[in-house]
Amino acid sequence: MNYVVLDLEWNQSSNEENINKDLPFEIIEIGAIKLSQDRLMVGEFSELIKPQVYHQMHRITSKLIHLQMQELERGRPFREVAEDFLKWCGQEYIFCTWGPLDLAELQSNMRYYEMTPLSDRPIAYLDIQKLFSLAFEDGKSRRSLEYAVDFLHIEKDIPFHRAFSDAYYTGKVMAKIQDAKLFKRFSYDVFHLPKTREDEVRVVFDTYAKYITREFADKLEALHDKEVAATKCYVCRRNIKKRIRWFSANGKHYYCLAFCDQHGFLKGKIRVKKSEGEKVYVVKTTKLISHSEAEKIAEMKDKAKEIRRNKKRKDKEA
């Protein structure tokens, strides 16, 4: 099994009226390096792509990556390059990217050119931007690639902001991460959502569990689904009772608090997200927390209740 560290550059329309809704972002360069399981470089891929949709370079894109349209016109079409890239990836590999965008854009371009999908369900990959934060900072911050390179005192021997160079530096950052457990902290690209309950993503990490659902018609249907609403201790696998039922703190995220007799307090968090077809899906995480963290959940519930109370009062006064 290898790691394929991928980076893409893409172009877009400079005029909103000329945006192709089926392909808002057109990939113009694919860069990648292949790492062994020991994170040693064993291969590289780099190729420019001849534009088929946007034939003028967006000014910000041109300024950032220092590419001219004349250079791109000498490239090959996306389908040819993408097919060669996927052959180069091999049979057993895990995609690694800096941030969560590249895999979605790769699949969007593949769909536009009617290529065979990478998968018909969510793809597990490693977000090295997240892993850098977990390894060296607070786990929540999201830094630029150049910041991480400077932080780790990695030599800057090629320019940034080209697909191959950014893949190269992402691989260098990977090599600096020593905690092997972090390479099991997969992220999931949801360009293709689970089609059935059996296809849904249920994964347990070292400190929390994640559940990604199939699509629902709307938020109400999603929140009333038994598995979405359930609280289960991911250590002992038992369903446990809620101390605080699901509530919304901000209209977007929902929280609950449950208690396991063996493992203590468990926080549940639900994010309801829109899918392409105007339906919704749910990302639910559950995490064992301390007593003080449990108290914060109770405070959040009280604050949310007070906000609703004040809003009702204002509506009546109006």
pLDDT in tens, 186-205: 999 999 999 999 999 999 99
Residue with tokens 């446990």: 240
Burial class of residue 148 (count of CB atoms within 10 Å of its CB; 0-12, 13-18, 19+): buried
Question: What CATH topology corresponds to 2-184?
Answer: Nucleotidyltransferase; domain 5 (3.30.420)
Region label for 274, one of left (φ > 0), alpha (ψ between -120 and 50) or beta (otherwise):
beta
Place of tokens 């992220």: 187
Q: Residue 315: is its pLDDT beyond 80?
A: no
CA distance 98 to 145: 7
Tell me: the pLDDT tens digits for 271-303? 999 998 889 999 999 999 999 999 999 999 999
Residue 304 sits at φ, ψ, to 5 deg, of -65, -40
DSSP per-residue codes, 161-230: SSHHHHHHHHHHHHHH---GGGGG--EEE-SS--SSGGGSEEEE-SS-EEEE---BSSHHHHHT-HHHH-
What 8-state DSSP symbol labels residue 232?
A: B
SS3 state at 118: coil
Predicted local distance difference test score (pLDDT) of residue 251: 72
Domain ranges of the chain: 2-184, 195-315
Model confidence pLDDT, tens digit, residues 95-134? 999 999 999 999 999 999 999 999 999 999 999 999 999 9
CA distance 56 to 93: 35
Q: Is the pLDDT of residue 85 over 90?
A: yes
Single pTM value for the model: 0.90
Q: b or e along 205-236 (b: 16 or more beta carbons within 10 Å of the residue's beta carbon)?
A: eeebbbbbbbbbeebeebbeeeebbebbbbee
Predicted local confidence at residue 70, as pLDDT = 82
What the block records as the tokens of 208 is: 């929390």
What are 138-160's pLDDT values in tens digits?
999 999 999 999 999 999 998 88
